[in-house]
Structure 1
Amino acid sequence: MYLVKNSPRALFAALIPLAIVEAVLLVFAIAGGQVTDPAGVPAPDQIVMFYAGRMAMNAAFLFAGHTVLRQCKMSSRFAYGLMGGVMAAASYGIAMRNHIQLGAPGDGTVLTIGLLPTIAGMIGGFLYGQFAGLVPVARAAGTTPHANAPAAPPAIVFDGPVQVRTSVAGIAIAALMPTVLATLLPYTLLPLLMHGFADKSTAHIFAAVIPAQTFMIMMVISVIPSSIFMLCVHHVARAMSRRRAWEYAAIGGVAAFACALLLALAVPLLSALLVPAAFCGALMGALYRRFAGLEPLPLPELVVASDPNALVSADHPSRHQHGVILSN
């Protein structure tokens, strides 16, 4: 039996999705305060303290959930993904109840907005289980074998045929890549955005709001199509018996280029997206392969037979000729 190791590096990786979501919610809260109550917008130091406090809460809850799973001797990625969602939802609920969140959501949107940190927490929990690695229970407990103790059983190895797993978490991570890449685009326009405002404080707020708004819009409109695209790429690669990351990247890039080319034939203006689409598809394929993992090929399905004489191979003579019964 194995347990997931304690890993600061994995905890840092698990906090990345939560950090992005918390930053988006923080930007929207500041922008809303700038419109409704400009005088009540907190100072930058206070904003940083709010953000640091929320991230510290998320880190503490994630590590507490990891500790509970270790005590329960659970190490599956599904369990860690579920734990991350529960811990992120609990952290969000406590922050809302104790007014640790910078801006409260509007009436009737508390649960809806809470889905964002919950989903980010599920991805974060999955990332922790992925990056931390496993350790045997005996080593995790710190026990040392006695001199006369029997030797530990050899490690289980497998040299049979394998295939890339179908991973929901891997699809979700890969499907967010178009959103992330599209969000990076407004940052190249920040000097132009800030130059058009006489009030530099307003310029800074809008410069932060536009990427956050781009992130939300792209996530809503692209996650489902990107998930379907990634699932198709995975099954094409599996049908071609491809397992390496660069092979998944090549298949994803070609598939994305083909999809963009079909759209460009209908709307010629979209031809400018051919190269970015190919790059995004290649990145999605490589990311999926990185997080999906391998599994053994399934065994053939059991055959239900009612006639023992039919249990012969394909090249048996009875398969190629018919027996004859002469009637009287």
Structure 2
Amino acid sequence: MYLVKNSPRALLAALIPLAIVEAVLMVFAIAGGQVTDPAGTPAPDKILVLFAGRMAINAAFLFAGHVVLRQWTISSRLAYGLMGGVMAAASYAIAIRNHIQLAAPGDGTVVTIGLLPTIAGMIGGFLYGQFAGLSPVARATGVAAAADAPAVSPPIVFDGPVRVRTSIAGIAIAALMPTVLATLLPYTLVPLLMNGFADKSTAHIFAAVIPAQTFMVMMVISVIPSSIFMLCVHHVARAMSRRSAWEYAAIGGVAALACVLLLVLVLPILAALLVPAAFCGAVMGALYRRFAGLEPVPLPEAVIATDPNALVGADHPSRRQHGVILSN
């Protein structure tokens, strides 16, 4: 039996999706306040303090959930993903209850907005379980233990055939790559945007809102198609018995390039996306392989037989000729 280790590095990695979501929500809150009450826009120091407070609460809840799972000797990545979602939802509820936020959600949007940190928390919990690593459970040593018993049990090894697992969390992480890459594009326009406004405060607001808006729009329109694409790439790679990250990256890049080529036949202007799409597909394939892991090839399904005479091989003579029963 194994437990997930205590790892500050894994905790920092788990906080990355939560930090992105919190930053996006804060940007939208600032933009909304700029429209409704420009004079009441909070100072940067207050924004930083609120952001740090939210992240501290998220980190505390995530680590507390990890401690609880260790007490229950649960180490599966599915359990850590569910734990991350529950803890992120609890952190969001506490922030709403105690007004640890820039602006309260509008009427009828509390639950809808809460889905974003919940999903980010699920990804964060999965990342913690992935990066922290496992350690064997320490066995209690007592007087009743046999004197000749081995102090450490030998490690379990497997040398049979393996294949890449089908991982929902891996698909979700890989499916976010188009969103992340598309969000990086507006940052190249920030210097131009800053020079285009006479009011620099307004320019700063727009410079923050445009990437956040791009992130939300791309996430809504691309997550489901990207998930389907990644699932297809995974099954193609599995059918070809490919397991390395480089092979998954190559298959993902070729598949993305093929998809864009088909779209170019309809809209030739999309030819400009050939190289970015191939790069994005390669990154998605490599990311999926990194987080999916391996599993043993399943054994053949058991056969339910009612006639013992039918349990013969495919090359048995009875399979190629019929028995004859002479009737009177």
Q: Same fold judged by TM-score > 0.5?
A: yes
The whole-number CA distance in structure 2 between the counterparts of 1:262 and 1:237 is 21
The whole-number CA distance in structure 2 between the counterparts of 1:103 and 1:242 is 49
The whole-number CA distance in structure 1 between the counterparts of 2:15 and 2:146 is 43
Distance 1:321 1:90, change over 3 A: same
Structure 1 match to 2:4: 4
Structure 2 counterpart of 1:191, one-letter code = P
Structure 1 counterpart of 2:276, one-letter code = P
Secondary structure, aligned partner of 1:266: coil
The whole-number CA distance in structure 2 between the counterparts of 1:195 and 1:149 is 78
% same residue: 85
Normalising by structure 1, we get a TM-score of: 0.96
Is 1:114 the counterpart of 2:114 in the alignment? yes
Structure 1 match to 2:307: 307
Distance 1:163 1:144, change over 3 A: farther
Secondary structure, aligned partner of 1:189: helix
Structure 2 match to 1:75: 75
Structure 2 match to 1:56: 56
The whole-number CA distance in structure 2 between the counterparts of 1:144 and 1:284 is 50
The whole-number CA distance in structure 1 between the counterparts of 2:206 and 2:148 is 67
Gaps of 5+ in 2: none
Structure 2 match to 1:238: 238
After the TM superposition, which of the residue ranges 310-319 and 222-231 deviates more from structure 2? 310-319
Distance 1:147 1:225, change over 3 A: same
Secondary structure, aligned partner of 1:285: helix
Structure 2 counterpart of 1:308, one-letter code = P
Cα drift, residue 305 of structure 1: 1.1
Normalising by structure 2, we get a TM-score of: 0.96
The whole-number CA distance in structure 2 between the counterparts of 1:312 and 1:124 is 52
Cα drift, residue 269 of structure 1: 0.6
CA RMSD of aligned residues (A): 1.6
Cα drift, residue 264 of structure 1: 0.7
Cα drift, residue 153 of structure 1: 2.2
Structure 1 match to 2:282: 282
Structure 2 match to 1:24: 24
Cα drift, residue 325 of structure 1: 3.7
Structure 1 match to 2:220: 220
Structure 2 match to 1:150: 149
Residues 27-67 of structure 1 show CA distances to partners (whole Å, capped at 9, x for unaligned) of 00111111111111111111111111111111011001101
Structure 2 counterpart of 1:290, one-letter code = R
Secondary structure, aligned partner of 2:130: helix
Residues 103-140 of structure 1 show CA distances to partners (whole Å, capped at 9, x for unaligned) of 2111110110000000000000000000000011107x
Cα drift, residue 324 of structure 1: 3.4
Structure 1 counterpart of 2:184, one-letter code = L
The whole-number CA distance in structure 1 between the counterparts of 2:157 and 2:320 is 42
After the TM superposition, which of the residue ranges 312-321 and 239-248 deviates more from structure 2? 312-321
Residues 165-197 of structure 1 show CA distances to partners (whole Å, capped at 9, x for unaligned) of 110000000000000000000001111111110
Cα drift, residue 326 of structure 1: 4.3
Structure 2 match to 1:172: 172
Residues 265-292 of structure 1 show CA distances to partners (whole Å, capped at 9, x for unaligned) of 1000111001111110111011001001
Structure 1 match to 2:297: 297
Is 1:202 the counterpart of 2:202 in the alignment? yes
Is 1:161 the counterpart of 2:153 in the alignment? no
The whole-number CA distance in structure 1 between the counterparts of 2:13 and 2:79 is 17
Residues 235-255 of structure 1 show CA distances to partners (whole Å, capped at 9, x for unaligned) of 111111111111111111111
Aligned length: 326
Secondary structure, aligned partner of 1:295: strand
Cα drift, residue 149 of structure 1: 6.2
Cα drift, residue 198 of structure 1: 0.4
Secondary structure, aligned partner of 1:188: helix
The whole-number CA distance in structure 1 between the counterparts of 2:315 and 2:134 is 47
Structure 2 counterpart of 1:190, one-letter code = V
After the TM superposition, which of the residue ranges 298-307 and 4-13 deviates more from structure 2? 298-307
Secondary structure, aligned partner of 2:265: helix
Cα drift, residue 307 of structure 1: 1.4
Structure 2 match to 1:45: 45
